[in-house]
Structure 1
Amino acid sequence: MQIAVWLAFAGAAQSAFAQGAASGEAAAPAASSGVAAAAAPAADGGGQALPAVNVSAAAQPDSPMHLSTPVSVGALGSRSQLDTPFSTTVVTGEELADRQANKLGDVFAVDASVTDSSNAYSAWATYISIRGLPIDWQNGFRINGNPFISYGITMPYENLERVELLKGLGGFMYGFVQPGGVVNYVTKKPADQPVTSVSAGYRMDSVFSQHVDLSRRFGPDDMFGARINYTHEAGKTYNAGDINRNSLAVSLDGQLTRDLDVYFDAIYQQSRSSGQTPAIYTGSYTGTSLPAPISGGTNLLGGTDQHLNTNLQLYTAGVRYQITPDWSFNTSASYSKSARDRNESTLTLLNQAGDYTDSRWNGDEGHQDIYWQGAFEGKVKTGIFTHQLVLGASWQYQTNDYSAVSYYFTLGPGNLYQPNPWRYYSGAGLDKYRANEITQKALFASDTIQLTDRWSLLAGLRYTNYDQQSYNVNGSLASSYGQNGVLTPTVALMYKLEPHTTLYASYVESLEQGAMVADIYANAGALLRPLRSRQYELGIKSEHERWSATAALFRIERGAAYANSQNVYVQDGNSIYEGLEAGGSVRLGRSWQVTGNLMLLDTWYAKGQAYNGNRVAGAPQFVAAGRVTYDVPAVPGLQVGADAKFTGSTMVRAAGDLETGSYTIVNVGANYMTRIGGHDVTLRAAIDNITNRRYWMFQYSDYIAPGDPRMVSVNAKIDF
Structure 2
Amino acid sequence: MNKSINKYFGVLQRNLPRRSVKKNAVTLSSHLFLSVTFSASLFAQEVKKDSTTILQEVIITAPLNKSFEVNVGGFGSKDVMDVPLTIQTYGTKNIREMSARTVRDVLISDPSVQSSSYGGGFDNFRLRGFAMDNFNTIRRDGLTLAPHYDVPLELIERVDVLKGPSGFLYGFNSPGGTINYIPKRPTIKPYNSLTLQTSTLQDYYAAIDHSMSLLNGKIGYRLNAGMEKVGNFNHFGDLERRYIGLATDFKISKKALLQVNADWAWKSAMSDPLLRADQSSRIDPLDPTTFILPPKIDRRDALSPSWYRHKTEAYNIEAKFDYTLNEHWTSITQANYSQVNRHGGYVDLFNIQPNGDIGHADLYQSRGEVFSTWSLQSYLAGKFSTGTLKHDLFTGVSHKQFRDKSPYWDFVESVNGISVSDISVGNILNPIQPSRWDFGAEKEIDFKSSIQESSVFASDLITLNPKFQVLLGGRYIWYKARNLSAVAAPQDKNVFVPTGALIYRPFKNLMSYISYSRGFEKGDYAPFNANNANQPTDAIASTQYEVGLKMDFNKRFNLGMAFYDVKRDASYLNIANDFVSNGKFHHRGIELNTTTKLLQSLTLLGNIAYMDTELKEVTDLTALGKRTEGAPRWKGTIGARYALSFLPNLAIDCNLNYMGDRPVDAQNSGFIPSYTLLDAGISYNTKIGKSATMFRLHGRNLTDKYYYSGVYYSGGAEIGRTREIFLTAQFRL
TM-score class, shorter: 0.7 to 0.9
Pick aligned residue for 2:217 from 213, 217, 222 = 222
Going from structure 1 to structure 2, the CA distance change for 1:346 and 1:663 (only over 3 Å counts) comes to: same
Pick aligned residue for 2:365 from 362, 371, 381 = 362
Give per-residue Cα distances to partners, 1:454-513, cap 9 Å, x unaligned. 21111111101110000776xxx75211122x1111111111232222111111111111
Three-state SS of the structure 2 residue aligned to 1:72 is coil
Q: What CA distance in whole angstroms lies between the structure 2 residues aligned with 1:300 and 1:377?
A: 53
- Kindly indicate whether residue 145 of structure 2 is the aligned counterpart of residue 145 of structure 1: no
Give per-residue Cα distances to partners, 1:684-717, cap 9 Å, x unaligned. 1211011111122333241321111111112111
Q: What CA distance in whole angstroms lies between the structure 1 residues aligned with 2:342 and 2:278?
A: 26
Deviation at 1:296, TM superposition (A): 7.5
Give per-residue Cα distances to partners, 1:181-216, cap 9 Å, x unaligned. 111111110111111111111133212111111111
Going from structure 1 to structure 2, the CA distance change for 1:240 and 1:704 (only over 3 Å counts) comes to: closer
Asked if structure 2 preserves the Cα contact closer than 8 Å seen for 1:306 and 1:342, the reply is: no
Going from structure 1 to structure 2, the CA distance change for 1:497 and 1:205 (only over 3 Å counts) comes to: same
- Kindly indicate whether residue 387 of structure 2 is the aligned counterpart of residue 383 of structure 1: yes
Going from structure 1 to structure 2, the CA distance change for 1:119 and 1:513 (only over 3 Å counts) comes to: closer
Three-state SS of the structure 2 residue aligned to 1:82 is helix
Deviation at 1:99, TM superposition (A): 0.9
Deviation at 1:405, TM superposition (A): 4.6
Equivalence for 1:23: none
- Kindly indicate whether residue 128 of structure 2 is the aligned counterpart of residue 111 of structure 1: no
Asked if structure 2 preserves the Cα contact closer than 8 Å seen for 1:652 and 1:698, the reply is: no
Equivalence for 1:443: 456
Asked if structure 2 preserves the Cα contact closer than 8 Å seen for 1:289 and 1:352, the reply is: no
Asked if structure 2 preserves the Cα contact closer than 8 Å seen for 1:119 and 1:708, the reply is: no
Within a 5 Å distance, the mapping from 1:261-300 to structure 2 comes to 261-273=257-269, 275-280=270-275, 288-291=290-293, 294=296, 297-300=299-302
Asked if structure 2 preserves the Cα contact closer than 8 Å seen for 1:156 and 1:247, the reply is: yes
> Once structures 1 and 2 are overlaid, which stretch shifts more, 289-298 or 641-650?
289-298
Give per-residue Cα distances to partners, 1:553-605, cap 9 Å, x unaligned. 01110111111111111111001101111010101122111111111111111
Pick aligned residue for 1:128 from 125, 130, 139 = 125
CA RMSD of aligned residues (A): 2.9
Going from structure 1 to structure 2, the CA distance change for 1:490 and 1:629 (only over 3 Å counts) comes to: same
Going from structure 1 to structure 2, the CA distance change for 1:82 and 1:497 (only over 3 Å counts) comes to: same
Deviation at 1:299, TM superposition (A): 1.8
Q: What CA distance in whole angstroms lies between the structure 2 residues aligned with 1:115 and 1:706?
A: 14
Equivalence for 2:653: 641
> Once structures 1 and 2 are overlaid, which stretch shifts more, 666-675 or 518-527?
518-527
What's the TM-score once normalised by structure 1's chain length? Answer: 0.87
> Which amino acid is the alignment partner of residue 639 of structure 1?
A
Q: What CA distance in whole angstroms lies between the structure 2 residues aligned with 1:592 and 1:609?
A: 54
Asked if structure 2 preserves the Cα contact closer than 8 Å seen for 1:302 and 1:420, the reply is: no
Q: What CA distance in whole angstroms lies between the structure 2 residues aligned with 1:620 and 1:471?
A: 31
Give per-residue Cα distances to partners, 1:122-166, cap 9 Å, x unaligned. 213x22222212222111001121111342x33221221000001
Asked if structure 1 preserves the Cα contact closer than 8 Å seen for 2:449 and 2:481, the reply is: yes
- Aligned residue pair count: 670
Going from structure 1 to structure 2, the CA distance change for 1:33 and 1:640 (only over 3 Å counts) comes to: farther
Going from structure 1 to structure 2, the CA distance change for 1:350 and 1:55 (only over 3 Å counts) comes to: closer
Q: What CA distance in whole angstroms lies between the structure 1 residues aligned with 2:725 and 2:446?
A: 42
Deviation at 1:170, TM superposition (A): 0.6
Pick aligned residue for 2:618 from 599, 608, 613 = 608
Q: What CA distance in whole angstroms lies between the structure 1 residues aligned with 2:485 and 2:691?
A: 60
> Which amino acid is the alignment partner of residue 83 of structure 1?
D
Q: What CA distance in whole angstroms lies between the structure 2 residues aligned with 1:105 and 1:269?
A: 17
Asked if structure 2 preserves the Cα contact closer than 8 Å seen for 1:110 and 1:627, the reply is: no
> Once structures 1 and 2 are overlaid, which stretch shifts more, 350-359 or 492-501?
350-359
Q: What CA distance in whole angstroms lies between the structure 1 residues aligned with 2:245 and 2:258?
A: 17
> Which amino acid is the alignment partner of residue 362 of structure 1?
Q
Q: What CA distance in whole angstroms lies between the structure 2 residues aligned with 1:43 and 1:368?
A: 57
Give per-residue Cα distances to partners, 1:649-703, cap 9 Å, x unaligned. 1111001121001111111112111111011001112110111111223332413
> Which amino acid is the alignment partner of residue 138 of structure 2?
F
> Which amino acid is the alignment partner of residue 602 of structure 2?
W
Give per-residue Cα distances to partners, 1:598-618, cap 9 Å, x unaligned. 111111110111111111111
Three-state SS of the structure 2 residue aligned to 1:158 is helix
Asked if structure 1 preserves the Cα contact closer than 8 Å seen for 2:501 and 2:515, the reply is: yes
Asked if structure 2 preserves the Cα contact closer than 8 Å seen for 1:551 and 1:583, the reply is: yes
Pick aligned residue for 1:696 from 695, 708, 711 = 708
Going from structure 1 to structure 2, the CA distance change for 1:270 and 1:378 (only over 3 Å counts) comes to: same
Going from structure 1 to structure 2, the CA distance change for 1:523 and 1:382 (only over 3 Å counts) comes to: same
Pick aligned residue for 1:503 from 503, 512, 515 = 512
Going from structure 1 to structure 2, the CA distance change for 1:425 and 1:96 (only over 3 Å counts) comes to: farther
Within a 5 Å distance, the mapping from 1:269-668 to structure 2 comes to 269-273=265-269, 275-280=270-275, 288-291=290-293, 294=296, 297-349=299-351, 355-364=358-367, 365-410=369-414, 412-413=419-420, 414-419=426-431, 422-425=434-437, 430-470=443-483, 478-484=488-494, 486-544=495-553, 545-610=555-620, 611-668=623-680
Going from structure 1 to structure 2, the CA distance change for 1:155 and 1:360 (only over 3 Å counts) comes to: same
Q: Percent identity?
A: 24
Segments of 5+ residues of structure 1 without an aligned counterpart are 1-7, 12-27, 35-40, 45-49, 61-68
Q: What CA distance in whole angstroms lies between the structure 1 residues aligned with 2:712 and 2:185?
A: 35
Going from structure 1 to structure 2, the CA distance change for 1:431 and 1:685 (only over 3 Å counts) comes to: farther
Going from structure 1 to structure 2, the CA distance change for 1:42 and 1:633 (only over 3 Å counts) comes to: closer
> Which amino acid is the alignment partner of residue 121 of structure 2?
A
Equivalence for 2:33: none
Three-state SS of the structure 1 residue aligned to 2:244 is strand
- Kindly indicate whether residue 680 of structure 2 is the aligned counterpart of residue 671 of structure 1: no
> Which amino acid is the alignment partner of residue 142 of structure 2?
G
Three-state SS of the structure 2 residue aligned to 1:614 is coil
- Of structures 1 and 2, the one with the larger relative CO (CA 8 A, separation 6+) is 1
Going from structure 1 to structure 2, the CA distance change for 1:292 and 1:375 (only over 3 Å counts) comes to: same
> Which amino acid is the alignment partner of residue 305 of structure 1?
W
Segments of 5+ residues of structure 2 without an aligned counterpart are 9-19, 27-48, 421-425
Q: What CA distance in whole angstroms lies between the structure 2 residues aligned with 1:717 and 1:97?
A: 10
Going from structure 1 to structure 2, the CA distance change for 1:466 and 1:595 (only over 3 Å counts) comes to: same
> Which amino acid is the alignment partner of residue 394 of structure 1?
S
Deviation at 1:267, TM superposition (A): 1.5
Equivalence for 1:64: none
Q: What CA distance in whole angstroms lies between the structure 1 residues aligned with 2:515 and 2:713?
A: 29
Q: What CA distance in whole angstroms lies between the structure 1 residues aligned with 2:378 and 2:321?
A: 9
Asked if structure 1 preserves the Cα contact closer than 8 Å seen for 2:547 and 2:562, the reply is: yes
Within a 5 Å distance, the mapping from 1:229-240 to structure 2 comes to 229-236=224-231, 239=235
Going from structure 1 to structure 2, the CA distance change for 1:433 and 1:320 (only over 3 Å counts) comes to: farther
Going from structure 1 to structure 2, the CA distance change for 1:59 and 1:498 (only over 3 Å counts) comes to: farther
Asked if structure 1 preserves the Cα contact closer than 8 Å seen for 2:25 and 2:593, the reply is: no
What's the TM-score once normalised by structure 2's chain length? Answer: 0.86
Three-state SS of the structure 2 residue aligned to 1:526 is coil
Deviation at 1:538, TM superposition (A): 0.5
Going from structure 1 to structure 2, the CA distance change for 1:194 and 1:429 (only over 3 Å counts) comes to: farther
Q: What CA distance in whole angstroms lies between the structure 2 residues aligned with 1:538 and 1:510?
A: 18
Deviation at 1:78, TM superposition (A): 1.6
Q: What CA distance in whole angstroms lies between the structure 2 residues aligned with 1:242 and 1:458?
A: 48
Deviation at 1:177, TM superposition (A): 1.1
Q: What CA distance in whole angstroms lies between the structure 2 residues aligned with 1:308 and 1:31?
A: 37
